[in-house]
Structure 1
Amino acid sequence: MKMNIAMIAHDKKKDELVQFAMAYQHVLKDHCLYATGTTGTRIAEATGLSVHRFQSGPLGGDQQIGAMIAENEMDMVLFFRDPLTAQPHEPDIMALIRLCDVYAIPLATNLGGAEIFIHGLERGDLNWRKLVHGKEEDQID
């Protein structure tokens, strides 16, 4: 089943997310990828994968992804957060996390969680999204 996957990274975590995308591009290539600003550009350049880019996080990219979650159009969020650096748009970040909880969207906030999710995605463990939310495979584009 093709999934819509958001990929977001704070500045100090961008390299880590790009390396993750490179390591798992064989899995990610079969899904629709969305990312905020610079993160999306860096992933696309490093992997050759097609990535729909939103605004940067501080300029509303987190909210754009949040809107997709609220409309049941996002299936997974990989958000490599930097917990040691203050973020000027912290309320937007917390709103995005809250939306993932409200709509039961799998959310990984670090490399360890993302590794588990990507292996589950590869095995088909996330196909419950089709059942729980009444999605048909052709509806997820």
Structure 2
Amino acid sequence: MNRVALIAHDARKDELVAWVGRHVERLRRCTMVATGTTGARIKAAFPDLDLTSVKSGPLGGDQQIGAMIAEARLDMLIFFIDPLSPMPHDVDVKALTRLGTLYDLPMALNDATADRIMQGW
């Protein structure tokens, strides 16, 4: 079973929920983890998904996801960032992308790339 992490900045949460909706049948076969608010939004829209929420990103959730990457407990990272907003979480974005790159994890930072990754699964 594939293990997927889902994270979205505030301005991108609606887009990630919509993305999950487009891929919900495939995601039903996955185990998913999401940061706090993102996970709550996805769970509200799709209550039957196998989704575990960790802490909110700025409260440690991004680091929890990072630890899962380092421990090889994830198969894919979908992280919809907002490149036009001030980046108070800039260090978290850099840390997650660094770990995803280091551990050769399929990773998408936008809708188009996330769609491409899902096509290959």
Question: Which interval holds the TM-score relative to the shorter structure?
Answer: over 0.9
1:120: which partner in 2?
120
1:15: which partner in 2?
14
TM-score, normalisation: structure 2? 0.96
The CA distance in 1 between the partners of 2:26 and 2:120, in whole Å, is 11
Q: Aligned Cα RMSD in Å?
A: 0.8
Superposed CA deviations along residues 15-41 of structure 1, whole A, max 9, x for unmatched, are 000001111110000010000011001
2:57: which partner in 1?
57
Maintained 8 Å contact 2:30/2:50:
no
1:32: which partner in 2?
31
The CA distance in 1 between the partners of 2:66 and 2:7, in whole Å, is 12
> Which structure is larger by alpha-carbon Rg, 1 or 2?
1
Kindly state the Cα deviation for residue 87 of structure 1 after the two structures are TM-superposed: 2.4
Summarize the alignment of residues 121-140 of structure 1 with structure 2, pairs less than 5 Å apart: 121=121
Q: Identity of paired residues, percent?
A: 47
Instruction: Tell me which moved more, 33-42 or 44-53.
Output: 44-53
1:107: which partner in 2?
107
The CA distance in 1 between the partners of 2:85 and 2:92, in whole Å, is 15
Q: Where do 5+ consecutive residues of structure 2 fail to align?
A: none
The CA distance in 2 between the partners of 1:120 and 1:63, in whole Å, is 27
TM-score, normalisation: structure 1? 0.83
Secondary structure of residue in 1 paired with 2:120: helix
The CA distance in 2 between the partners of 1:89 and 1:105, in whole Å, is 21
Q: Where do 5+ consecutive residues of structure 1 fail to align?
A: 122-141
More helix by share: 1
Structure 1 segments, 4+ long, off by >2 Å, are: none
